[in-house]
């Protein structure tokens, strides 16, 4: 894939080699990152994604050397290296080079990669409930977008796919629905929208927050609450929000086939309109 990476004060047209067996991030998992999108000449909420990677770095005890405004400016430089219609993923990262268990903040490193990554077509995907759970903040640094969370998501995806599903809903330690392995999850019933309330087991996604605001301004009631998997199984519609696909429909929940519904369609329409009105490059 076509990739540009900014590191050590310049742009590289091939990914620079950054890790040795002694690199803390490789050995002890100190990498944090964020992901933003550029598509159709827009990069919605790019600044918020850049701010979150700074916040995640601080949560890990790292010492970020760039603020969100500088990272956003670099991201826009990287986006400009591609054509206006190319769908891109923008990924800033911080990690430690050194430390023993805890990081040495003075060895913090930064890289920003911008690369071609086509957005999934909104054709829908299937979901099952995973036997694996999301930890609470007492057990893991769930208040950061960190690489160390993703092996847990990966095993949930692997187990779901082995049973013929595309994605997995993950419960929290109290058996409430937390999120999908890769995105936040929503359902609609009787024209109201429901989504799990942030409770320290998953990130309050930037696209999630934007979607809540857009739906409420459109007159749709949005409920953030503790939800059971049964609620999703009995819903009129189920859909997801996240940076990779933005807004996507669920077309099968366990053994129940579903169709993309009017609330999902309106949510996607609202998000696309927002992106093109405020996120122009």
Record the tokens describing residue 152, joined without a space: 């847990």
Q: How far is the C-alpha of 196 from the C-alpha of 119, rounded, in Å? A: 25
Residue 66 per-residue DSSP state:
S
User: Do the strands 88-96 and 108-116 form a parallel or antiparallel pair, or are they unpaired?
Assistant: antiparallel
Neighbours of 69 (CB within 10 A): 11
Pair type for strands 99-100 and 36-38: unpaired
Q: Under CATH, to which class is 125-278 assigned?
A: alpha beta
Q: What is the DSSP letter of 39?
A: B
- What was the pLDDT predicted at 84? 85
8 A C-beta contact, residue 114 and residue 89: yes
Predicted local confidence at residue 108, as pLDDT: 98
Counted residue by residue, the chain has a size of 281
Q: What pLDDT does residue 275 have?
A: 96
| Residue 74: predicted pLDDT | 98
Give kind and range of the element (H or E) at residue 239. strand 237-242
Domain with CATH 3.20.10.10 in the chain: 125-278
Closest CA to 78 of 111, 114, 36: 114
Which pLDDT belongs to residue 281?
Answer: 87
Question: What pLDDT was estimated at residue 85?
Answer: 86
pLDDT of residue 280: 84
Query: Which pTM was predicted?
Result: 0.95
Residues of the chain with pLDDT under 50: none
What CATH code is assigned to 3-116? 3.30.470.10
Q: In the chain, which residues fall in CATH 3.30.470.10?
A: 3-116
- Predicted pLDDT at 6: 98
Q: Are 253 and 238 in contact (CB under 8 A)?
A: yes
User: Tens digit of pLDDT for each residue in 194-243?
Assistant: 999 999 999 999 999 999 999 999 999 999 999 999 999 999 999 999 99
């Amino acid at each position: 894939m076509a990739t540009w990476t900014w590191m050590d004060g310049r742009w590289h047209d091939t990914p620079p080699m950054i890790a040795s067996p002694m690199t803390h991030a490789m050995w002890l998992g100190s990498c944090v990152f964020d992901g933003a999108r550029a598509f159709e000449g827009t990069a919605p909420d790019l600044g918020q994604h850049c701010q979150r990677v700074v916040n995640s770095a601080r949560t890990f005890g790292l010492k970020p050397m760039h603020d969100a405004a500088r990272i956003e400016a670099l991201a826009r430089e990287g986006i400009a290296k591609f054509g206006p219609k190319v769908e891109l993923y923008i990924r800033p990262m911080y990690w430690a080079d050194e430390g023993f268990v805890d990081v040495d903040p003075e060895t913090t490193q930064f890289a920003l990669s911008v690369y071609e990554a086509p957005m999934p077509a909104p054709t829908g995907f299937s979901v099952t409930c995973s036997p694996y759970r999301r930890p609470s903040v007492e057990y893991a640094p769930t208040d950061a977008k960190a690489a160390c969370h993703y092996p847990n998501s990966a095993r949930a995806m692997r187990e779901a796919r082995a049973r013929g599903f595309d994605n997995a809903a993950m419960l929290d330690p109290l058996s409430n629905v937390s999120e999908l392995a890769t995105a936040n999850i929503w359902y609609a019933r009787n024209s109201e929208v429901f989504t799990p309330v942030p409770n320290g087991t998953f990130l309050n996604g930037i696209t999630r927050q934007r979607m809540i605001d857009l739906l409420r301004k459109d007159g749709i009631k949005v409920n953030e609450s503790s939800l059971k998997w049964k609620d999703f199984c009995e819903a009129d519609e189920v859909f997801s929000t996240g940076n990779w696909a933005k807004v996507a429909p669920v077309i099968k929940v366990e053994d129940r086939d579903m169709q993309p519904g009017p609330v999902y369609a309106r949510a996607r329409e609202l998000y696309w309109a927002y992106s093109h009105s405020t996120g122009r490059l």
